[in-house]
């Protein structure tokens, strides 16, 4: 991947342009509040078990709410399936249940591509509907907009974006709504940097449509666009066949070196690559 050829950088918001994570406990608490009392402690046990990596729910997997199963998939083809207690289904059972590619949605087939979906999937297992889960999400966004939620900007990130901005267009593409996203951008000082901001992006379902729009908007080729995100299913996998460059922020260690053109544990580590856009001879 020749970074010097990049003309448009497309950034995800949450977990990509900021690294704070303390709001996920707040989100879990809001979801737990909406469950009946007898289910609250079970919810908490599961949430704690996921944190210890002792649960079938993991980043990168899918929660099938209809069959109450946790799935491992690639390009929507189910490869592995686990019951809530961790029991693995046989290939025969998988073929019977999932003869066709699955369709990810926000209701019954949840993509646990980032931490937002961990507690949401657990709440789904205990019967909370998607409307109530979305309410908890919005309450969390409300909290994040307020003064109580302090954010730590990524050291050197704003500076590098400002430096390379004369060479590249900067795009924000997020699944989150506009008001809270703008408030977060303001908190971390990135509110005036982007040439284009797309909210309610509906990734991964509409990732390809969004990238086509971005390509046309700036009159560039796909190979001149680089997608940067922490959710492999949403931001990396769909754009690889187009020929876009990719930077995967793999803070949960779910990928490997071939998951993207560049794989980093955090955005701070990606800064030297971003700097090359400004000066390809470095
Ligand atoms: Mg994200």
pLDDT in tens, 56-108: 999 999 999 999 999 999 999 999 999 999 999 999 999 999 999 999 999 99
The pTM of this model reads: 0.91
- Residue range 165-172: average pLDDT? 95
- Does 217 have pLDDT greater than 60? yes
Three-state SS for 226? strand
At residue 279, the pLDDT reads: 59
At residue 1, the pLDDT reads: 81
Tell me, in angstroms, the distance from the centre of ligand 1 to residue 99's CA. 30
Tell me, in angstroms, the distance from the centre of ligand 1 to residue 19's CA. 10
Superfamily of domain 3-20+152-276: HAD superfamily/HAD-like (3.40.50.1000)
Phi, psi (rounded to 5 degrees) for 186: -65, -45
- Does 6 have pLDDT greater than 80? yes
Tell me, in angstroms, the distance from the centre of ligand 1 to residue 71's CA. 20
- Does 281 have pLDDT greater than 60? no
Tell me, in angstroms, the distance from the centre of ligand 1 to residue 179's CA. 17
22-30: long-range contacts (C-beta < 8 A, 24 or more apart)?
Answer: 22/149, 23/140, 23/143, 23/144, 23/149, 24/115, 24/116, 24/118, 24/119, 26/140, 26/143, 27/116, 27/119, 27/136, 27/137, 27/140, 28/119, 30/135, 30/136, 30/139, 30/140
What are the domain boundaries of the chain?
3-20+152-276, 23-145
Residue 3, token pair as written in the block: 């970074």
At residue 180, the pLDDT reads: 93
- Does 210 have pLDDT greater than 90? yes
Tell me, in angstroms, the distance from the centre of ligand 1 to residue 238's CA. 15
Tell me, in angstroms, the distance from the centre of ligand 1 to residue 93's CA. 33
At residue 2, the pLDDT reads: 84
Tell me, in angstroms, the distance from the centre of ligand 1 to residue 123's CA. 20
- Does 226 have pLDDT greater than 90? yes
Tell me, in angstroms, the distance from the centre of ligand 1 to residue 61's CA. 15
Tell me, in angstroms, the distance from the centre of ligand 1 to residue 236's CA. 11
- Mean pLDDT rounded to a whole number for the chain: 95
């Amino acid at each position: 991947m020749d970074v010097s050829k990049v003309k448009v950088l497309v950034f995800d918001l949450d977990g990509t342009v900021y690294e704070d994570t303390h709001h996920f406990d707040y989100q879990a608490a809001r979801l737990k509040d909406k469950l009946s009392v007898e289910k609250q402690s079970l919810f908490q046990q599961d949430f704690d078990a996921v944190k210890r990596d002792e649960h079938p729910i993991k980043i990168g997997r899918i929660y099938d709410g209809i069959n109450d199963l946790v799935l491992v998939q690639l390009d929507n083809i189910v490869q592995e399936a686990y019951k809530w207690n961790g029991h693995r289904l046989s290939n025969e059972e998988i073929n019977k249940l999932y003869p066709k590619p699955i369709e990810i949605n926000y209701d019954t087939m949840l993509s646990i591509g980032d931490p937002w979906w961990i507690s949401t999937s657990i709440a789904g297992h205990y019967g909370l509907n998607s409307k109530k889960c979305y309410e908890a999400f919005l309450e969390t966004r409300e909290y994040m907009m307020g003064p109580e939620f302090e954010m730590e900007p990524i050291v050197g990130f704003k500076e590098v974006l400002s430096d390379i901005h004369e060479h590249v267009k900067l795009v924000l593409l997020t699944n989150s709504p506009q008001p809270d996203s703008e408030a977060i951008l303001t908190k971390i000082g990135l509110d005036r940097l982007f040439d284009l901001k797309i909210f309610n992006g509906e990734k991964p379902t509409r990732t390809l449509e969004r990238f086509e729009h971005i390509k046309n908007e700036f009159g560039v080729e796909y190979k001149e666009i680089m997608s940067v995100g922490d959710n492999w299913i949403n931001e990396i996998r769909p754009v690889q066949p187009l020929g876009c460059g990719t930077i995967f922020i793999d803070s949960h260690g779910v990928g490997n070196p071939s998951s993207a053109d560049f794989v980093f544990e955090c955005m701070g580590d990606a800064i030297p690559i971003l700097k090359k856009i400004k000066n390809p001879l470095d």
